Amino acid sequence: MTELTSQEQATLDAIAAATSLDALEEQRVAALGKKGWVSLALKTLGQMSPDERKEAAPAIQAVRAKVADALDARKAALEAEALEAQLASETIDLTLPAPDMPKGSIHPVSQVMDELAEIFADLGFAVATGPEIEDDWHNFTALNMDENHPARAMHDTFYFPDAAPDGGQMLLRTHTSPVQIRSMKDQGAPIRLIAPGRVYRSDSDATHTPMFHQVEGLVVDKGIHLGHLKWTLETFFKAFFEREDIVLRLRPSYFPFTEPSVEVDVGYSNEGDRRVVGGHGDDDGHDWMELGGSGMVNRRVLEMAGVDPDEFQGFAFGLGIDRIAMLKYGMNDLRAFFDGDPRWLAHYGFSPYDQPTLSAGVGARP
């Protein structure tokens, strides 16, 4: 027994001192291997008498268990040390930049067009489109501007040398109003639609570009009057700017395609160098800003579009999309809209996930 005890102590000391898995394995073989001293001691049990065995077996088994436990414990410790050392060697500098994931962006004009579609869908307006290269019949004549109408000259029209099929001239539409004509011809009345899109005027300075975006609105039904027009624009602007304090001012004006014609102003105030819509334009620190033209559709226009003006009447309006986008989102340079500069697009563009919805607010939150 003393021999066993001293062997056990020697082995445990050696295990504790082992600094590698190989050294540990050596100790395992020396103790628990086939010819290890513990295994050999176990083999002596077979030659013992039952009484001797009864006394000796537990002692030997206890030694075996002790040695095995010590081996396991030391192995785990050594492995942990090794892993720690390995991990330590694998340390990387996480202040280094990760690969760039290009973000992508939606242009403000598209974003605002989506907002328009969303708001007006709630009011029952569909979205209509039409060609940008038009004939003068759809762009002018059908809108009550015959060839000699002085208002034609005010449109700064881009013309093509090409003749239209019916003999008129081809041109770039100067407004989205031809879509009114096309839609009424196609669908008749009643009708509610908006028609956003590109329009063109031969005009270029700090605040005008030869191409810009307009949205047309048209409602033709029975009993529609100026009060409905006012409500529709008010309701739209309240939803678009998400403010209840929008005040509109209607001013008499003149457009050949509407009668009566009204210009729409909105009250605003200046905050710093930025115009903020809201409030009454005559209040202190406020003023009026022109937003667009509108009016009751001229009966001649209804006639030309094939709608019976004695049965139906309605209103139409036109707003500058770029302009209301600038007012809402704070851009100050229209020319930058058409430049394709990624720095500008990253700043003023929108996340593809900012899909306008009524429940989240049609406006994209910063």
Partner 1 sequence: MKFSITWLKDHLETEATLQEITDCLTSLGHEVEGVEDPAQKLAGFTVAKVLTAEKHPDADKLQVLSVDTGEGAPLQVVCGAPNARAGMKGVLGQPGAVVPSNGMELRKSAIRGVESNGMMCSVRELELGEDHDGIIELPEDAPVGHSFAEYHGSSPVIDVAITPNRPDCMGVYGIARDLAAAGLGTLKPIATPSFDASGSCPIEIRTDDPEGCPAFYGRVIKGVTNGASPDWLQQRLTSAGQRPISLLVDLTNYLMLAFGRPAHIYDLAKLSGAVVARRAKDGEQVLALNEKTYTLDESMVVIADEAQVHDIAGIMGGEDSGVQDDTTDVLLEIAYFDPPRIGVTGRKLGLASDARTRFERGVDPAFLQDGLDLLTGLIVELAGGKPSEAVQAGSPPSEAKAVSFDPAMTAKLGGVDVPADEQKRILESLDFSVDADWKVTCPLRRHDIEGPADLVEEVVRIHGLDKVESVALPRMDGVARPTATAQQALERKLRRAAAGSGLDEAVTWSFLPGDAADHFATGDQALWVLDNPISEDMKAMRPSLVPGLLLAAKRNADRGASGSRLFELGRRYFRGPDGMSDERPTLGVVLAGEKTPRGWASGKASSFDAFDAKAAAMTLLEAAGAPVGNLMVFGEAGEQFHPGQSATLRLGPKKVLARFGMLHPATLKAFDMNGPVAAVELFLDAIPAKKAGKGPVSFARPSFTPPALQAVTRDFAFLVPADLAAEDLLKSVRGSDKANITGARVFDIFTGEGVPEGKKSLAIEVTLQPHDKSFKDADLKAIADKGVAAAAKQGAELRG
- Which parts of 247-306 interact with partner 1 (CB under 8 A)? 249-254, 259-263, 296, 298-300
C-alpha to C-alpha distance for 311 and 315, rounded to whole angstroms: 14
**DSSP bridge partners of 194:** 127, 217
Q: Which of residues 22-81 bind partner 1 (CB under 8 A)?
A: none
Buried b (16+ CB within 10 A) or exposed e, 7-35: bbeebbebbeebeeeeebeebbebbbeee
Question: In what order do the strands lie in the sheet containing 169-172?
Answer: 133-135, 169-172, 159-163
Q: How far is the CB of 213 from partner 1 (least distance, A)?
A: 8
DSSP code per residue over 232-256: HHHHHHHHHHT-S-B-EEEEEEEET
CB of 36 or CB of 314, closer to partner 1: 314
* Beta-carbon count within 10 A of 319 CB: 24
- Determine if 131 is a binding residue for partner 1 (CB under 8 A): yes
Q: Please pick, from the candidates 230, 276, 287, 329, the single residue that binds partner 1 as defined by CB under 8 A.
A: 230
Please identify, among the stretches 9-17, 66-74, 79-87, 159-167, the one whose residues bind partner 1 according to the rule CB under 8 A: 159-167
Q: Which of residues 322-361 bind partner 1 (CB under 8 A)?
A: 337-343, 345-346, 349, 351-353, 355
Q: How far is the CB of 321 from partner 1 (least distance, A)?
A: 11
Torsion angle, alpha carbons of 329, 334, 336, 342, to 10:
30
Q: Please pick, from the candidates 160, 242, 306, 360, the single residue that binds partner 1 as defined by CB under 8 A.
A: 160
- Determine if 163 is a binding residue for partner 1 (CB under 8 A): yes
Q: Which residues contact 78 (CB under 8 A, 6 or more apart)?
A: 18, 19, 20, 21, 24
C-alpha to C-alpha distance for 329 and 106, rounded to whole angstroms: 13
- Determine if 94 is a binding residue for partner 1 (CB under 8 A): no
CB of 38 or CB of 199, closer to partner 1: 199
3-state secondary structure of 203: coil
Q: Please pick, from the candidates 90, 100, 284, 310, the single residue that binds partner 1 as defined by CB under 8 A.
A: 100
Q: Please pick, from the candidates 79, 162, 242, 308, the single residue that binds partner 1 as defined by CB under 8 A.
A: 162
Q: Which of residues 168-197 bind partner 1 (CB under 8 A)?
A: 170, 172, 192
Q: Please pick, from the candidates 61, 110, 187, 269, the single residue that binds partner 1 as defined by CB under 8 A.
A: 110
CB of 32 or CB of 127, closer to partner 1: 127
CB of 40 or CB of 154, closer to partner 1: 154
**Number of Cα atoms under 13 Å in the Cβ half of residue 356:** 22
Q: Please pick, from the candidates 189, 232, 266, 318, the single residue that binds partner 1 as defined by CB under 8 A.
A: 232
Q: Please pick, from the candidates 23, 30, 45, 126, the single residue that binds partner 1 as defined by CB under 8 A.
A: 126
Please identify, among the stretches 49-57, 69-77, 83-91, 204-212, the one whose residues bind partner 1 according to the rule CB under 8 A: 204-212
- Determine if 158 is a binding residue for partner 1 (CB under 8 A): yes
Q: Please pick, from the candidates 46, 50, 227, 285, the single residue that binds partner 1 as defined by CB under 8 A.
A: 227
C-alpha to C-alpha distance for 111 and 120, rounded to whole angstroms: 14
Q: Please pick, from the candidates 115, 135, 136, 216, the single residue that binds partner 1 as defined by CB under 8 A.
A: 135
Provide the angle, in degrees to the nearest 10, between the axes of the packed helices 2-17 and 50-89: 10
Q: How far is the CB of 96 from partner 1 (least distance, A)?
A: 6
Q: What is the DSSP letter of 345?
A: H
- Determine if 21 is a binding residue for partner 1 (CB under 8 A): no
Q: Which residues contact 26 (CB under 8 A, 6 or more apart)?
A: 18
| Terminal-residue alpha carbon distance, the chain | 82
Q: How far is the CB of 271 from partner 1 (least distance, A)?
A: 24
* Beta-carbon count within 10 A of 312 CB: 20
